[in-house]
Structure 1
Amino acid sequence: MAAAQDARDELMDGLEGAIGVDDDWLDWLDGDGFEGAGAAAAAGELAAQNDSTVTGFAPYAVAGYPGYQVEIRTNYTVGDSIIPGTEGMHATADAVAVIKPRCDFDLPDDPEDAVELDCDGEPVDIDPEDFDVDDLPDASVLFSVHLAE
């Protein structure tokens, strides 16, 4: 989840920098354009906070939505157990988290025209001609991050 959340933040940074500057700013609303530069580090940091290590990391798409597959292993062993032979084993887990746009909108004829987004029932208006970064809602309004597998 941490990797996808970091990528979602990168999406927001890219969107903020593109509105009113780049004619392709609407592509950012579809979840396109991010590189995921900090995603692996974010996954590693969350794993470390849980006394674990990332053992596998890869970009992963589900139903066309970008995300990441992360595998972890605990740094500690199972310890005393009623199951003989397991005391020296490490727990492992893997998950896939994806970033999914929450907003529907009609493409304007001109990328400099205002756009009205419907983000799961919450209206968001973006006017590239009169844009202030403070007008954008929290990233979670525009994009959801959830476990896919």
Structure 2
Amino acid sequence: MITWQRSGDRGQAFPIYVVVVAGLLFAALAFFVVGQASVTRSNAQGAADAAALAAARGARDHLVPGLDLAVLKPEEWEQVLGGKGLYLERGCEEAPGFAAMNDATATCKRSALRFTVEVQTNGTVGESVIPGTASMHGTANATAVIEPRCHLGSLPAPTKSPDPADVRAEESGQIKIRCKGGKEVEFDPLEPAPWRTLARTLFDVRLTD
């Protein structure tokens, strides 16, 4: 009699055991899916950050086509140092390529010196015990800004020659530009440094909220 009761108890406990094990297994798989989703989201954010920075740097490193720094007036130099001489339209052209390097697609929008990029990963979370994850892509957005960090110090004495070619030939002084931290940059109109090199001193590029 006692043996029969114990066997019955074991028989009643077995279904409960199965349910508990199944629940734990489902929970483990669910946590795995959450981890996969987190990785996908992280990949999306990395792609967005890279694309936004690429957009801002692409704009910073190029001047508006046809702009000749050697013949600029003081007020025109101030505009350049404020970012108005940058080829801003080029910036968003850089974003899709950098997103593609991170297996994602991107859309880019610009507002003044701010570049906002939204991305979607090409890959998904994948099949799982949770419905819908097979079509769940990672999405994220990031904004990068170009920050002017310098102002005009001094210009060489102006020339009366109306010909820009003569202006470049007659220039004898260097344009002095003062930047944050007390750094001073000199621009020689006769032997100008590449704009990309100069731009990386004149402007900061960083991610922002």
Task: Measure the CA separation in 2 of the matches of 1:75 and 1:42.
Answer: 18
The match for 1:78 is 125
- The correspondence for 1:125, drawn from 186, 195, 198, is 186
Give the TM-score taking structure 1 as reference length: 0.75
| Structure 1 gaps, min length 5 | none
The match for 1:145 is 205
Q: Deviations over 1:9-61 (max 9, x none)?
A: 114x76x943222322331111113342322221000000011001x321124
The range that moved more, 36-45 or 102-111, is 102-111
Letter in 2 for 1:57: C
Aligned pair count reads 140
Aligned partner of residue 122 in structure 2, secondary structure: strand
Amino-acid identity (%): 37
Letter in 1 for 2:105: T
The match for 1:103 is 150
Aligned partner of residue 146 in structure 2, secondary structure: strand
- The correspondence for 1:18, drawn from 59, 63, 68, is 68
Give the TM-score taking structure 2 as reference length: 0.56
Higher percent of residues as strand = 1
| Residue 140 of structure 1: how far off its partner (Å) | 1.8
| Residue 106 of structure 1: how far off its partner (Å) | 4.2
Higher percent of residues as helix = 2
- Gap change, CA 1:78 and 1:123, over 3 Å in 2: same
- Gap change, CA 1:33 and 1:116, over 3 Å in 2: closer
Task: Measure the CA separation in 2 of the matches of 1:8 and 1:117.
Answer: 18
Task: Measure the CA separation in 1 of the matches of 2:131 and 2:80.
Answer: 53
| Residue 105 of structure 1: how far off its partner (Å) | 3.6
- Gap change, CA 1:121 and 1:98, over 3 Å in 2: same
The match for 1:68 is 115
Task: Measure the CA separation in 2 of the matches of 1:28 and 1:42.
Answer: 21
Aligned partner of residue 89 in structure 2, secondary structure: coil
CA contact (8 A) 2:125 2:137 kept: yes
Answering whether residue 176 of structure 2 is matched by residue 115 of structure 1, we say: yes
Which structure has the larger Rg over C-alpha atoms?
A: 2
Letter in 2 for 1:115: K
Output the aligned Cα RMSD: 3.0
The match for 2:193 is 134
Task: Measure the CA separation in 1 of the matches of 2:188 and 2:123.
Answer: 52
CA contact (8 A) 2:81 2:151 kept: no
| Structure 2 gaps, min length 5 | 1-52, 160-172
